[in-house]
Structure 1
C-alpha cells in the first residue's frame, strides 16, 4: 500500500501539470480555467502568531536546496451547499463537517512522508476560534473533532488540529462531496473487492461481498459507510477509506492519462473544481510547485498510520487520544 500511495503522490503532480500537454490558445484558457477553479481561504492572517512554531529550515546542500518540512491538513468535507452536494448528502451548508481528516507530513528533503488519519469521533478541546465578523467562538471541551469545521470552517479546523497535535499546519486542502464523486467518475470509476456484505441505510450503499465497479456516487457512499458493516465505528470507516484510496491509486497508476489529454483535463477540472486551499496553495502554479518538490519521494518512504486512540471514558461510542503514544507520534512530525 505504501508503494501505491507513493504513485498517488506522483500522479497528483501529473494531474496538477496537465495543462502542459495542451497546445495553442486552448492551453492558456485551460490554465486560466483550472487556476480559477481553486478556492482559497486566508488561514495564516486569520490565526495570527498564536500557533505552534514552524519547523526549522535545513541548511542548503550540494544535492538538495532547503525546502523545509511541511504539514498539510487534508479534509474530506460533507459540505451540503449547492445542488450537487445536497443530492449526495442532503441538509444545509451550516451542517457541513469534516468527514475525513488527515495530517500529511513531508520531510524537509522530501525523501519521506507520513500520513496520519484523525478519527472524526475523537473527543478534543476545541479552542476559541476567530469568526468572519471579527469576534471569536467560545472554547469547548470533550467535543467531537469534526464539530470544529461545522462551527468555524477551515480556520477552526486548523486551529483545533494544531491544539490537538502541537504541530503547525503549513497548508490546508479540502475536497467536497460532489468533487470527490466527479473525480472518480472522470477516472471512469474504481474497482474494489469487499470481504463482507455492506448494507448501510444511511449511506444508501448495498454491496454483496465480492468484486465491484463503483461509480463516483457509490465510491463516495463507500467512503462514508460505517453502519451495516464491521463494528459500525468510525475506525471501521477509516479502514474502508484506506481500501478505497488503495483502489483509486491502482486505477490512476493503471491509466495512462498523459496519452489522453481530453480525459486528463477532465480529471484535473474535477479535482481543482472541488478544492479549497489556504492562500499559499490557491493557484495552479503553487500546486505544481508542491507536486514538483515530491518527484524524488520514494514510494517505500510513505507511511500511513492512524492517531492512537482508545474508548472515551465518558462515552464508549467516542474515542480520545491514547497518550503518551499519540503525543510521541505528533512530536515526531514537528
Structure 2
C-alpha cells in the first residue's frame, strides 16, 4: 500500500511519484534503450522523446492509481473503523486553561496516555488476571502525560504512581449517564468513575494543565504494538524473575538474564507490569520510561514511516490497540500527531515521575510532594523545557503574557469581593481562617464589602482572582494589584457570580502574596527521577528476592 493511503492521502506528504523530471540527466538518460544521448540525436527529437516518456509515465501512474485507489480507500476506512473513540473529558468542573501561545502563535500539546488493566476480552484475560476479573471495572494502572512543547522541539513524559491519593472531581459516565460525586481516592480508580475522560479531568484538577487528548491501551494492545515494532531493547543488572514469593503473592512472570536484550510480545507486557522485582512503584515507572525511550529510538532507527510493509503492520496494531478521545479518532489525525512527536530529537525528550511522599492516611499509598510537584506542574503550564539541550528562540517567548490593563467599573468601596480558602493539600489540612485574613487585608485597601465564603474548604495549588464577565475584568485586576497577585492569575470563570479571590496552597501564610520565582529550562524538581530520551545506558536493578 502506498504511504499516502495510511496517511489519509495527505497532499503535503511527498510520495516520491512526482511527474516532473528529477534532473536534466535523468530525463536525457531515459528512453527505450536506456543509456545517454546518442551521437545522431537532434535537438528537435529530444523534446518529443521527453514528451512521449512523460505521457507514458502519466499513463502508467493513472492505471496504478485507478487500480489501487479503491483498495487503498477501503483499507483506510478499515483502519478508521478499528479505532475506538470516547469523550475527551467526563469531569463536570475543570478549571484548567490552555497555555498562552508563544510569539509564533504556537501552543503546547498535552496527551494523557493510559494503560488499562481490563480483562474484559479473552485475549486480555489470557495475558493476565483471573476469570473473576471479567466484567469488573478496569483500573488505570499506567498514567503518563506526554507534553509536546509549543515549538515542537522538546517533549516530556510525566508519570503518576497508580496508588497516588488525589482529589477526584465529580464525573459523569458518558455511556450510562451515571454521576459519581467528587472524592479523595487513589488515581487508578478514576477509569471506573466515568472512563478515560474522568482520568483526564482528575489530572487537570491536580496539575492545572489543560490536556488536549487521551489515548488508552490495554494488555493485548501492548503485546501487539511490541510485535509490530519488532521488539524493544531493555537492560537488567541481574537475572530477574518476577514470581510469587511467600511474602508477596502475584507477579508479572517476567524472566530475563542480566544484560541488554530485546523483548517481544508477552515479555513486553511483563516488563511494563513488573513492580515487585523492581522494588517499588517509582522503579516501575522508571522501567516504563526506559521502555518508551527505547521504543522511540527503535522507531527512529527503523525509519518505519518510509517502510510501507512495517508501516501497515504498525498501523493495524495501533488502530486495533488504541482507544482515543473522539477529536483525534481518525488515522489521518493520529498520523499527523505521530509526525509531530517524531520530529522531537531524542536528547530533547525527558521522562520523569511526579515527586511524591508516603500518604499519612495509608502507608500503602502516596501523595504528591507538594512543593516539588507544584514546580513540575508549573513548568508544564508555562511550557518550560525539562532539558537544557535546546537554544532559546524568539518563538519560545509567550505572547501577551501580561493581559492588557482594564479600567475598573466601580470604586473599591462599592465592589463586592468574595474570598475563598483553598489552601488544603493532599498532605496538609487547610489553614484555618485564611479567607478571613485576606478579607481583612482587602478591607484595609478600601474593599470594605469583601466577605468570606464559609460554605466549603477548597483545594487549589495556586491563588487566582476570578471574575464572571468582561465588564468586571478591570475590577478583578485592581483586586489582584491590591493584594500583590500577578495579573496573569486573573481568570474569567463561569463558576463565580462576582469578583472572587481563591487563596491557594501557594499562599498559606502572610498578608502579602509571596513572590514566585519562575523555573528555568532543565531546573527539575527533586524526586523526579528524570531520564533523557537519548540515554541508552540505564539498566534496571533487581530487588534481591527476585534475582535468580
TM-score normalised over the length of structure 1: 0.84
- Partner Cα separation in structure 1 for residue 193 and residue 166 of structure 2: 14
Cα contact 2:143–2:162 (8 A) shared by 1:
yes
Aligned with 1:40 (options 71, 74, 85): 85
Tell me, in whole angstroms, the C-alpha distance in 2 between the residues paired with 1:197 and 1:311.
30
State the partner residue of 2:170.
128
Q: Relative to 1, partners in 2 of residues 1:120 and 1:298: Cα closer, same or farther, differing over 3 Å?
A: same
1:144 is aligned, of 186, 196, 200, to 186
User: 5+ unaligned residues in a row in structure 2: which ranges?
Assistant: 16-63, 244-250, 382-548
Counterpart of 1:307 in structure 2 is 354
Aligned positions of 1:68-147 closer than 5 A: 68-90=107-129, 91-132=133-174, 133-141=176-184, 143-147=185-189
**Alignment partner of 1:327: what SS?**
helix
Aligned with 1:207 (options 239, 253, 256): 256
- CA distance in structure 2 between the aligned counterparts of 1:114 and 1:186, rounded to whole angstroms: 24
Q: Which moved more, 1:294-303 or 1:125-134?
A: 294-303
Contact 1:308/1:322, CA 8 A, preserved across alignment: yes
**In 1, Cα distance between equivalents of 2:308 and 2:119:** 31
How many Å apart are 1:306 and its aligned residue?
A: 1.3
Q: Which residue does the alignment assign to 2:101? A: 57
Please name the residue that 1:164 is paired with. Answer: 206
Between structures 1 and 2, the one with greater helix share: 1
Q: CA deviation at 1:126?
A: 1.6
Residue 314 of structure 2, aligned match among 267, 285, 292:
267
Q: Which secondary structure state, in structure 1, belongs to the residue aligned with residue 323 of structure 2?
A: strand
| Alignment CA distance shift 1:163-1:104 (3 Å) | same
Question: Distance between the aligned counterparts of 1:16 and 1:173, measured in 2?
Answer: 19
- Describe the superposition over 1:38-86 as per-residue Cα deviations: whole angstroms up to 9, x where unpaired: 1111225x44664312222345x4xxxx332222111111221211111
Q: Contact conserved, 2:172 with 2:193, CA < 8 A, in 1?
A: no
Structure whose CA Rg is larger: 2
Answer 1 or 2: higher relative contact order, Cα 8 Å, separation at least 6: 1
CA distance in 2, matches of 1:99, 1:252: 25
RMSD: 2.7
C-alpha contact (below 8 Å) 2:232/2:295 kept by paired residues: yes
Is the CA contact 2:233–2:294 (under 8 Å) kept in the aligned structure 1? yes
Cα pair 2:5 2:72 within 8 Å, conserved = no
| Contact preservation (8 Å) 1:98, 1:149 | yes
What SS does structure 2 have at the residue aligned with 1:266? helix
Q: With structure 2 as the length reference, what TM-score do the two structures score?
A: 0.53
Q: Provide closer, same or farther for how the CA distance between residues 299 and 127 of structure 1 changes in structure 2, counting only shifts above 3 A.
A: same
Q: Measure how far apart 1:296 and its partner are.
A: 4.7
Whole-angstrom CA distance in 2 between matches of 1:41 and 1:154 = 8
Deviations 1:71-110 (A, max 9, x none): 2111111221211111112322424111211111222222
For 1:112 and 1:213, locate their aligned partners in 2 and report how far apart those are by CA, in whole Å: 27
Q: Which has the higher strand share?
A: 1
Offset, 1:317:
2.6
Which residue pairs with 2:72 in the alignment? 27
**Structure 1: gaps spanning 5 or more residues:** 1-12
Q: Which residue of structure 1 lines up, in the alignment, with residue 270 of structure 2?
A: 221
